[in-house]
DNA sequence: GACTTAGTTTCACATAATGGAACCTAAAGG
DNA sequence: CCTTTAGGTTCCATTATGTGAAACTAAGTC
């Protein structure tokens, strides 16, 4: 939530956006001033610029700032541009229909898991209300699936900077346990979440890999211990892997259409 | 598509994002260099910064840049922060179910219409694939509904800078015709789109207004001339207005909960 | 009418962005 | 095999841009 102090002015501006995003509702100038430790004038100009650029919107009645419409436009493009999300859409639909379970599509975002899309057993797409969330990598099915297939150096870095929090009694809470688990995952080709993040919630996840074995995402089928056993979920593993492979294939052919 | 040359570095950086967004698929450095007229080194650093900040993602295999995940996170927050979209969601569902027609939720974005959410008669939410688009204000139902309730000065400005393009034979193509139409809309409380933007497409739209009559969005029921007549659509007007009023009420109470 | 509190502007100053040019590659051409 | 070209990256003197303390204004309080 605090300033990352990244690259120059642009970094600061994006910082401000993050702060506004973090609050989750329209903020007054002063609120931001309190959160950010930028001097008043600096923050002021930053906000002015962002507002001017359409990244923030200003409500003159209430004197509040909120994230602007330009973001929505950009995000729309991001979604469309992403090789993964739009391609995966119909596959997620199928998988959700077949399994009757909750489906997650995730990508790696700087050491964390970003849920990119979701299908809910009961309700249809909840884009933007459920997707877009981030979560820890080391204790979610999709997170572990992606970690397991990271190149060694990237994995090492990811593990080193990871801080472990025991969400439940099952959470893997040391680098060693995690590494052992990742090896096992690589071995069998799919990951489980055995109530490691939330009690009662289990899942089976597979990585989505390019031909060169680069991780571009992960796919999971999630359920509750009440509804489904881990063994039942594992019986789906083949089907999930198949789906992941199809998505990967299509993503690649779409993304690199020019090659012979 | 070309550089807007706005405020300083941040403006340029956002410009770059727009350019990447405009292409709609991963771009190489050179592609951008051709589009932007920034010097090589400048653009390079800009891109580096954006990549570093997670606003762009870099594919080292293909040496291409795409819009980054941070954008998705921010957009998620924008959606949640928006007083309108998340609140309107269930109402859109209801309206879609009742009418069996396509429903649009729109907001004003700097003189243009931004579609924020959509329900399709047949298919469920298509968030991000359909919403997020922008369109002209003067020849869409939602656009005119919002224009009609703008304060006089803002309206005047909006009309002045508007350039009129005749999309169909029915498009209102002069400021005068538009003004007359807007008065009529204000009079009856709802707007029509009489195939003004796309042939065969008609709609009935109402503005979403705060207690102080500020426009915060618009809501429309869209159909085709083949399916539905304008009169039939108008018969829904009361129902749509009612929905708009409920959305407005909830948006306000949520946004300004502190008042007595 | 003095006294906070919130937002906006100023201006001397220094950082951070600029961009021409040089420098790396790696692949294409002779 | 050596050259050329094109794509990509780094340098560095120059200066435009952004900085932030402080001054200022406009509303609320007491």
The answer on pLDDT for B132 being more than 80 is no
CA distance between the termini of chain A: 47
pLDDT band at B161, cuts 50/70/90? confident
Q: What is the pLDDT of residues B180-235, one digit of tens each?
A: 999 999 999 999 999 999 898 999 999 999 887 888 899 999 998 888 899 999 99
What whole-number distance in Å separates Cα of residue B145 and Cα of residue B210? Answer: 14
Name chain B contacts of A61, Cβ cutoff 8 Å: 212, 214
* Predicted pLDDT of residue B131: 59
pLDDT digits (tens, 9 = 90+) for A6-21: 678 888 889 888 888 8
Which nucleotide has the shortest C1'-to-CA distance from A41? D20
Q: Kindly state the tokens that stand for A11.
A: 């970094």
Contact, A174 CB vs strand D, < 7 Å: no
Query: How many Å does it take to go from CA B39 to C1' C12?
Result: 31
Least confident of A244-248, B31-35, B78-82, B128-132: B128-132
Q: A231-239: long-range contacts at Cβ-Cβ below 8 A with a sequence spacing of 24 or more? A: A233/A192, A233/A202, A233/A203, A233/A204, A234/A190, A234/A192, A234/A204, A236/A99, A236/A204, A237/A189, A237/A190, A237/A204, A237/A206, A239/A95, A239/A98, A239/A99
Q: What is the pLDDT of residue A253?
A: 66
Task: Write down the pLDDT at residue A121.
Answer: 62
Q: How far is B234 from chain A (nearest CA, A)?
A: 29
The tens digit of pLDDT for each residue in A71-113 reads 888 877 777 777 688 788 889 989 988 998 889 999 887 778 8
- In percent, the amount of chain B with pLDDT more than 90 equals 33
For chain A positions 72-131, those within 8 Å of chain B (CB to CB) are 72-83, 85-86, 89, 107, 109-110, 114, 116, 124-129, 131
Q: Which nucleotides of D are covered by protein (CB under 7 A)?
A: 6-12, 17-23
Q: Which of residues 154-213 of A touch B (CB under 8 A)?
A: 210, 212
User: Which of the nucleotides in strand C have any atom less than 7 Å away from a protein CB atom?
Assistant: 6-10, 16-22
CA distance B171 to A191: 56
Of A26, A81, A107, the CB nearest to B255: A26
Closest of B159, B156, B256, B178 to residue B212, by C-alpha: B256
pLDDT digits (tens, 9 = 90+) for A139-154: 999 999 999 998 887 7
User: pLDDT confidence of B3, banded at 50, 70, 90?
Assistant: very low
Domains of chain B listed by start with CATH number: 8-72 (1.10.10.10), 82-255 (3.30.450.40)
Which of A14, A21, A49 is opposite residue B7, by nearest beta carbon?
Answer: A49
Tell me the per-residue pLDDT of B224-235, one tens digit each, with 9 for 90 and over. 888 889 999 999
- Is A6 buried (19+), middle (13-18) or exposed (0-12) by CB count in 10 A? middle
Q: How far apart are CA B79 and CA B21, in angstroms?
A: 19
d(CA B8, C1' D15) / Å: 14
- Find the residue in A nearest to B128 (Cα): A76
Distance A43 CA to C12 C1' (A): 19
pLDDT at site B180: 94
pLDDT of B109 above 90: no
**Chain B CA closest to residue A24:** B81
């Amino acid at each position: 939530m605090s300033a990352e102090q990244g690259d120059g002015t642009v970094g600061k501006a994006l910082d401000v956006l993050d702060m506004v995003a973090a609050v989750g509702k329209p903020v007054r100038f002063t609120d931001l001033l309190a959160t950010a430790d930028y001097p008043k004038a600096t923050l002021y100009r930053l906000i002015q610029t962002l507002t001017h650029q359409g990244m923030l919107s200003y409500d003159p009645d209430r004197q509040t700032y909120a994230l602007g419409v330009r973001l929505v436009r950009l995000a729309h493009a991001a979604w469309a541009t992403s090789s993964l999300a739009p391609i995966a859409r119909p596959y997620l639909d199928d998988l959700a229909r077949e399994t009757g379970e909750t489906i997650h599509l995730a990508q790696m975002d700087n050491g964390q898991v970003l849920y990119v899309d979701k299908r809910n057993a009961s309700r249809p797409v909840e884009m933007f209300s459920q997707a877009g969330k981030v979560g820890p990598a080391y204790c979610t099915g999709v997170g572990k699936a992606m970690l397991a297939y990271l190149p060694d150096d990237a994995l090492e870095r990811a593990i080193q900077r990871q801080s472990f929090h025991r969400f439940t009694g099952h959470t893997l809470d040391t680098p060693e346990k995690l590494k052992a688990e990742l090896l096992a995952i690589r071995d069998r080709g799919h990951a489980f979440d055995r109530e490691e993040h939330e009690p009662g919630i289990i899942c089976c996840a597979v990585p989505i890999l390019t031909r060169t074995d680069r991780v571009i995402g992960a796919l999971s089928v999630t359920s509750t211990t009440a509804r489904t056993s881990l063994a039942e979920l594992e019986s789906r593993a083949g089907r999930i892997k198949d789906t992941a492979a199809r998505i990967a294939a299509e993503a690649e052919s779409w993304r690199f259409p020019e090659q012979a």
